[in-house]
Amino acid sequence: MSKVKDLSLIDEGMKELEWAEKNMPVLNAIRKRFEKELPFKNLRVSLALHLEKKTGQLIRTLRAGGATVRVASCNPLTTDDRVAAALTQFDGIEVFAWANQNTEEYYQNLNSVLDSKPNLLIDDGADLINIIHFKRQELIEHVIGASEETTTGIIRLKAMEKENALKFPITNANGAYSKHLFDNRFGTGQSALNAIMSITNSLIAGKNVVIVGYGWCGKGLAIRARGMGARTIVVEAGDRMPYADESEPSGWHKGLEALYEGFEVMSMDDAALIGDLFITVTGDKKVIDAKHIKKMKDGAMLANAGHFDLEIDINGLEKMAANVKEINENCQEYQMKDGKLIYLLSKGRLVNLARPAGQGHPLEIMDGSFAIQALALEFLAKNGKKLPIKVIDVPAGLDDYVARMALESHNIILQPLTEEQKEYLTGFNEGT
């Protein structure tokens, strides 16, 4: 039995779902095939995702494939109550989510989606998978596999794999090119700035915008902030991430890349002095801490687009403040003891997704990301029992299919390689 905020929002939610359906052609094509092939017949799927209209389309795609589906939100602030209400009207779909849950409600909802004893999971940030592994191990025997959506979740799951703690296979949806190249970069780039503009109604042009973390998301934010006329400053870590493979670039490589891309690059200590708007997107904690906030200019705005609300030291900010005032639902004004004002957007949670300002990534972006999730889940349903208990890549064929379909939705058809080219590219005899 679903638990949502307000069933009077069903009609509004249906309109949202309809709009998503009209603009998600790749997922629609997959849904048509699933209706015929029923890859999830007799399977129970549980999801923890930011619950809004695009997620609604994914859920309906899985349901069309024969699954019974339960969904909770992967973040206390990011549910669109209209869509949550509308989804309760579909047979075989149960929803346990609303905007502004407290921590207890958040975990209760995650547990409710697990009460169905799911066979397949989609998670975003790995909280759901974590509960099964460490608090509800009796459910493990029912699980064929799970698919994880975001960088932070994959880091947590790879750490579990390393400690031999993982109990079922995980597909790394975030690792698919059709996901992180577009979702993390162009999706976060557009949607985080969109939410910040909507919350503050202020101009990006002419501002010193500091992007902390120049990974996939940070690159997207930096190019879009520059495109809107900001003086864009990048902060990176003077270190190698402890979870990174040796083949991956370090923070120094990323800093140099940002510099050669034409951005200003500096330490957080220096950026703190000049920034007007700070956006953290590292997946790390306390990248803006109390000592940085102390140095900031009057009126500085702080936003986070990384997965958890740990990137900005909110406790430190609260301790330094003499007074806190709400400007609007997504903007708190902290008055420091010396009178300086600092603005925290969306309580330091994912600014592009925290309701009501955050609408999440654009439709076309989530079409690709959720097409990957739908295909990854089908792959798990077909092969799960044979797969190694590891974090595994989404097969390249599925990833290519999604990129090709997305290009074709823009009426762009690329030419395949000729047989002669294939022979040349796999041989070693032909040279100068």
When the beta carbons of 234 and 342 are compared against ligand NAD, the nearer one is 234
When the beta carbons of 40 and 214 are compared against ligand NAD, the nearer one is 214
Gap between the Cα atoms of 37 and 206, Å rounded: 54
Nearest to 34 by CA among 381, 341, 286: 381
Contacts 24+ apart (CB under 8 A), 88-94: 88/2, 88/4, 88/7, 88/10, 89/10, 89/14, 90/60, 90/63, 92/63, 92/67, 92/68, 93/59, 93/60, 93/63, 93/68, 93/69, 94/1, 94/2, 94/69, 94/70
Gap between the Cα atoms of 47 and 370, Å rounded: 12
User: Residue 241, interface with ligand NAD (CB under 6 A)?
Assistant: yes
Among 145, 215, 275, 348, binds ligand NAD (CB under 6 A): 215
User: Residue 188, interface with ligand NAD (CB under 6 A)?
Assistant: yes
When the beta carbons of 216 and 343 are compared against ligand NAD, the nearer one is 216
- Which range, of 107-115, 288-296, 346-354, 416-424, touches ligand NAD by CB under 6 A? 346-354
Element (H, E) at 111: helix 103-114
Encoded one letter per residue, x for contact with ligand NAD by CB under 6 A and - for no contact, window 361-400 reads ----------------------------------------
Phi/psi of residue 95, nearest 5 degrees: -120, 135
User: Residue 254, interface with ligand NAD (CB under 6 A)?
Assistant: yes
When the beta carbons of 85 and 350 are compared against ligand NAD, the nearer one is 350
User: Residue 212, interface with ligand NAD (CB under 6 A)?
Assistant: yes
Q: What is the DSSP letter of 38?
A: -
Among 25, 66, 275, 306, binds ligand NAD (CB under 6 A): 306
Among 65, 66, 118, 251, binds ligand NAD (CB under 6 A): 251
Q: Which residues, 41 to 100, sit near ligand NAD by CB under 6 A?
A: none
Quick count: other Cβ atoms within 10 Å of Cβ 52? 27
What's the half-sphere exposure (Cβ side, CA atoms, 13 Å) at 33?
Answer: 10
> In whole angstroms, how close is the CB of 232 to ligand NAD at the nearest point?
15
Encoded one letter per residue, x for contact with ligand NAD by CB under 6 A and - for no contact, window 146-185 reads ----xxx---------------------------x--xx-
- CA angle 176/110/182 to nearest 5° reads 20
- Which range, of 26-34, 68-76, 230-238, 385-393, touches ligand NAD by CB under 6 A? 230-238
DSSP string, 144-189: -EEEE-SHHHHHHHHHHHHTT---S-EEEGGGSHHHIIIIIIIIHH
Among 169, 218, 275, 384, binds ligand NAD (CB under 6 A): 218
User: Residue 278, interface with ligand NAD (CB under 6 A)?
Assistant: no
How far is CA 261 from each of CA 53, 223, 375, rounded to the nearest angstrom?
Answer: 35, 9, 35
When the beta carbons of 147 and 188 are compared against ligand NAD, the nearer one is 188
The residues that touch ligand NAD, with contacts defined as CB under 6 A, are 150-152, 180, 183-184, 188, 212-218, 235-237, 241, 251, 254, 281-284, 287, 305-307, 350, 352-353
